[in-house]
Amino acid sequence: ALNPAASESAHIAHLWWTFFWVTLVIFALVAIFLFIAILRNIRRASGDPQPPILPEPTQASENRATKVVSTLVVITVLILFALLICDFFTGNAIYATPDPKALSIKITGHQWWWEVEYQDPQPSEIVTTANEIHVPVGKPVKLELQSSDVIHSFWVPNIHGKKDLVPGHPTTTWFTARRTGEFRGQCAEYCGEQHAHMRLVFVAEAPDAFSSWLAAQKKSAPEPMSDSQRRGRDVFLASQCVMCHTIQGTKARATLGPDLTHIGGRKMIAAGELPNTRGYLAGWILNASALKPGVRMPPNQLSSDDLNSLLDYLESLK
C-alpha cells in the first residue's frame, strides 16, 4: 500500500505518511516531556527521601498553567482540523468525477474466486477471464463490483483502497495505473473457509501490450495441434468439466466455475493460490479440495493417459 502504482493509491499513501509524521512528532514530544518529568521526580526523591509538601500555587503560576493548557488544546484542535482537511481533499481526489471513456471491467466475487469481465457494447467483444486482471497504464479504469454469494472485499493495495462487495448492491470504483508491474490482490473481508486464499494477479502494462493481450483474449480457444491435445479436448467435453466451465469455440458453455478458454496463459490457478504448472494443474484436476480444502470443485477420476492428454490440451489454451 505504501508503494503506489496508481494515482489513487498515491493519494492514499501521501495521506498515510502525513498522519504518520504528525503523530510521530506528537508521540516524540509527549515522550520527551514525560521523560523530563520522571527524571525530575527521581532527582528530587534522591535528594530528600521524604515527599515534599507542595505550597499553594500562586496566582501567577495558575495563570501560566492555564495559558499552557489552553495553548495545547488549541494546537490539538488545529492539528485535528488540518488532518480532517487532508482527509477531505484526499477523498475528493480519489472519488473525483470519472472519465466517461474509461475502460469498464465487471468483477464478480464468488466463494472463492474472482470472475473478471471486460465490458464492450458489442456482446461478441466481451472478454471473460478469472483471477487475473490486465489494465493499460495511463488509461482510466472503471471497476463494476458485485458479489454472487456472500460479502467480499476487493483490494489491490498498490492500486486503490479496498471496496466491499455486498450481494444485491453493485458498486463502482475508478483508478488510473501510473507504472507497469505485476501486483497481488486479495479479498479483504472474511467470506468463508478459503477467504485467506482468495487472491488475484493484477498486471499493469503498456497500452500496446494490453491491446495485444485483450485481442488474444477475444479469440476462441485454439484448435488442438496434436493427437494428444485432441484426445484431451474429448476428455474434457465428455467429463463433468463441461457442467461448470466454459471454453469458447466448444460446446462447454457453463458458467458455474471460471472460464478456461485461455487458462494456459494464466500465471496462477486456484484463485492466485498455486502457480500454473503442469504438476499443480494435474493435482487440481484430480482433487482440488486436497490442495484447497472447502473448494467446490469435485474430484475427477481419470486414467493417467487421459489426464496427460487433458493437461496437454489445457496447456495449449493460451
- What are 112-150's pLDDT values in tens digits? 999 999 999 888 889 999 999 999 999 999 999 999 999
- Mean pLDDT score of the chain: 90
Is residue 254 classed as helix, strand or coil in its secondary structure?
Answer: coil
Taking the C-alpha atoms of residue 56 and residue 54, their distance in angstroms, rounded to an integer, is: 7
Q: Express each pLDDT in 165-208 by its tens digit.
A: 999 999 999 999 999 999 999 999 999 989 999 999 999 999 99
Is the Cβ–Cβ distance between 235 and 311 less than 8 Å?
no
One-letter identity of residue 203: V
Q: Counting beta carbons within 10 angstroms of the beta carbon of residue 227, is it exposed (0 to 12), middle (13 to 18) or buried (19 or more)?
A: exposed
pLDDT reported for residue 23 = 93
Quick one: CA torsion of 223, 228, 231, 233, rounded to 10 degrees? -40
Q: Which part of the chain is CATH 2.60.40.420? A: 103-209, 227-315
**Band (80; pLDDT cuts 50, 70, 90):** very high
Q: Which of 115, 277, 272 is nearest to 182 (CA)?
A: 272
Angle at 37 between CA 35 and CA 42, to 5 degrees: 95
DSSP string, 218-252: TSPPPPP-SHHHHHHHHHHHHSGGGGT-B-TTSS-
Residue with cell 485454439: 222
With a cut of 80, say whether residue 86 has pLDDT above it.
Answer: yes
The predicted structure's pLDDT at residue 44: 67
Mean pLDDT of 309-316: 94
Architecture of domain 103-209: Sandwich (2.60)
Q: Give the pLDDT band (50/70/90) at residue 28.
A: very high
| Residue 31 pLDDT > 80 | yes
Of 68 and 136, the structure prediction assigns the larger pLDDT to: 136
286: confidence class by pLDDT, cuts 50, 70, 90: very high
The fold of 227-315 is Immunoglobulin-like (2.60.40)
